[in-house]
C-alpha cells in the first residue's frame, strides 16, 4: 500500500509498505479521506508538536474516514475517531477520555496516522456514516467534534455576544455552532479576507480584519461597547489570545483552542484579573462523534463547503503546500478514491 511518512521538517516521502494486520478488536479501514489539520502542519513545519519530536518517520493524519469490508460482502462507510483512550485511568473513568495520560492518537508521537491507503484501528472508534454523508463529510467530523467541545466549554447561551478569533475550519464551525446555540451577536476576526467572507456566510454578524490587536477598538464598538460574553481563540497566535482577553466583558469566559507555535500563551494579567475572566483550554474533544454525525446528517452544520481542495495521495506535496499557504479553507487528501 501507499504510505506518506514525515522524516523531518518539510520532508515528506511516499513509500510502499505491507498492508496492516489488525490486532484484537481492530478492523482494517481503507482510508478514503484525510483532512489536513493545523496540528499536522505543525508536525510538517517543525517536526514536532507540544514538546514531542519525530523519533522515526511518522505517518500524519487524524481527521479521516474510510471503508470497511463487512462479513456479508458489503462495504460500510465509517468516520474514525483518532483517539484511543485506555479506559482504565481516573480521567477515563470520570468521563474525560481526552485527558487520558495513556491516550493513543493517530498521527501523533509514536502512533502512525491515516495518510496511507489502509489502517488497522480499534472497532470502538469506528462510526458508521448515514447515507446522506459522504467520506469527505466523515473526515470533517473530527474537527467538528473539537468545535462542539469548545462551544460546550464556553457555555454559550441564548442572546449572548460571542467572539471568534481565527476563522480557519474549526473557527468557522464554532461560528456555526454559536449561531445554532442562539448567540445574538457573533463577531469574527481573521487576517485572511476569504476566511472572513466564509465567516459571514456561516452566520457571523460582524467580520473584522485582524491586525495584531489594532482591531480591538472596532471589536469593542461592534459589541455595543460592552465586550463579548464568550471569546474563542482559534488562531494559534498570541495576538488572537490578547484580542480575546481584551474583547471579553467582565465575568466573561475565554476558551483557548489554537495551538501556539512557540509553546507559549501570554496575555495582560491586569486586564484578565480585573475583569474576573474564566479562562479554559480546549483539549481535543470527548463524546462528540454521535452528536457531530447527527448535526451534519440533519444539515444543522455545513461541513462540505469547508472543503476547498482535494488531492489524490500521489499529489501530497502540493496538498501540504496549499495548506501551508493557507489557501482556501480545508485541504483533503484521498488515499483511495471511491468515486
Please, are residues 62 and 140 in contact by the beta-carbon 8 Å criterion? no
- Grid coordinates belonging to 55: 523519533
42-73 pLDDT, tens per residue? 999 999 998 889 999 999 999 999 999 987 77
- Grid coordinates belonging to 211: 491586525
Q: What is the pLDDT of residue 263?
A: 85
Residues of the chain with pLDDT > 90: what percent? 93
Domains defined along the chain, listed by start: 2-140+303-334 (3.90.180.10), 147-281 (3.40.50.720)
Q: What is the pLDDT of residue 81?
A: 98
- Grid coordinates belonging to 318: 502540493
Please, are residues 263 and 50 in contact by the beta-carbon 8 Å criterion? yes
The dihedral built from the CA positions of residue 47, 52, 53 and 57, taken in this order, carries a sign that is: negative
Q: What is the pLDDT of residue 72?
A: 79
pLDDT of 339 > 60? The answer is no
Q: What is the pLDDT of residue 52?
A: 86
Q: Which residues contact 174 (CB under 8 A, 6 or more apart)?
A: 147, 150, 151, 164, 232, 234, 257
Give the residue-averaged pLDDT of 180-189. 98
200-249 pLDDT, tens per residue? 999 999 999 999 889 999 999 999 999 999 999 999 999 999 999 999 99
Q: What is the pLDDT of residue 196?
A: 98
Q: What is the pLDDT of residue 338?
A: 62
d(C-alpha 254, C-alpha 240), whole Å: 11
Measured at the CA of 214, the angle between CA 213 and CA 219, to 5 degrees, comes to: 80
Please, are residues 253 and 230 in contact by the beta-carbon 8 Å criterion? yes
Amino acid at each position: 500500500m501507499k504510505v506518506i511518512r514525515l522524516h523531518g521538517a518539510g520532508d515528506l516521502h511516499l513509500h510502499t509498505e505491507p498492508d496492516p494486520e489488525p490486532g484484537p478488536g481492530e478492523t482494517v479501514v481503507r482510508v478514503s479521506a484525510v483532512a489536513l489539520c493545523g496540528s499536522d502542519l505543525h508536525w510538517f513545519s517543525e517536526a514536532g508538536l507540544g514538546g514531542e519530536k519525530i523519533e522515526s518517520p511518522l505517518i500524519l493524519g487524524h481527521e479521516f474516514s474510510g471503508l470497511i469490508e463487512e462479513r456479508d460482502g458489503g462495504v460500510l462507510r465509517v468516520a474514525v475517531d483518532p483517539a484511543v483512550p485506555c479506559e482504565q485511568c481516573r480521567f477515563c473513568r470520570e468521563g474525560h477520555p481526552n485527558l487520558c495520560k495513556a491516550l493513543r492518537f493517530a498521527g501523533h508521537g509514536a502512533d502512525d496516522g491515516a495518510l496511507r491507503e489502509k489502517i488497522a484501528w480499534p472497532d470502538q472508534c469506528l462510526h458508521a456514516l448515514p447515507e446522506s454523508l459522504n467520506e469527505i463529510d466523515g473526515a470533517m467530523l473530527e474537527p467538528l467534534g473539537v468545535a462542539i467541545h469548545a462551544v460546550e466549554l464556553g457555555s454559550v447561551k441564548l442572546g449572548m455576544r460571542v467572539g471568534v478569533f481565527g476563522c480557519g475550519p474549526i473557527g468557522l464551525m464554532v461560528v456555526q455552532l454559536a449561531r445554532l446555540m442562539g448567540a445574538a451577536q457573533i463577531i469574527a476576526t481573521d487576517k485572511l479576507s476569504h476566511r472572513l467572507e466564509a465567516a459571514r456566510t456561516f452566520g457571523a454578524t460582524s467580520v473584522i480584519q485582524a491586525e495584531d490587536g489594532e482591531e480591538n477598538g472596532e471589536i469593542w464598538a461592534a459589541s455595543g461597547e460592552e465586550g463579548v460574553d464568550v471569546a474563542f481563540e482559534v488562531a494559534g497566535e498570541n495576538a488572537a489570545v490578547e484580542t480575546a482577553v481584551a474583547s471579553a466583558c467582565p465575568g466573561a469566559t475565554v476558551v483557548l483552542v489554537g495551538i501556539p507555535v512557540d509553546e507559549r500563551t501570554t496575555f495582560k494579567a491586569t486586564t484578565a484579573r480585573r475583569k474576573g475572566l474564566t479562562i479554559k483550554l480546549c483539549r481535543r474533544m470527548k463524546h462528540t462523534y454521535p452528536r457531530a454525525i447527527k448535526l451534519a446528517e440533519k444539515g444543522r452544520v455545513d461541513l462540505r463547503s469547508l472543503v476547498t481542495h482535494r488531492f489524490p495521495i500521489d499529489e501530497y506535496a502540493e496538498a501540504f503546500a496549499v495548506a501551508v499557504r493557507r489557501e482556501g479553507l480545508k485541504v483533503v487528501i484521498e488515499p483511495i478514491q471511491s468515486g
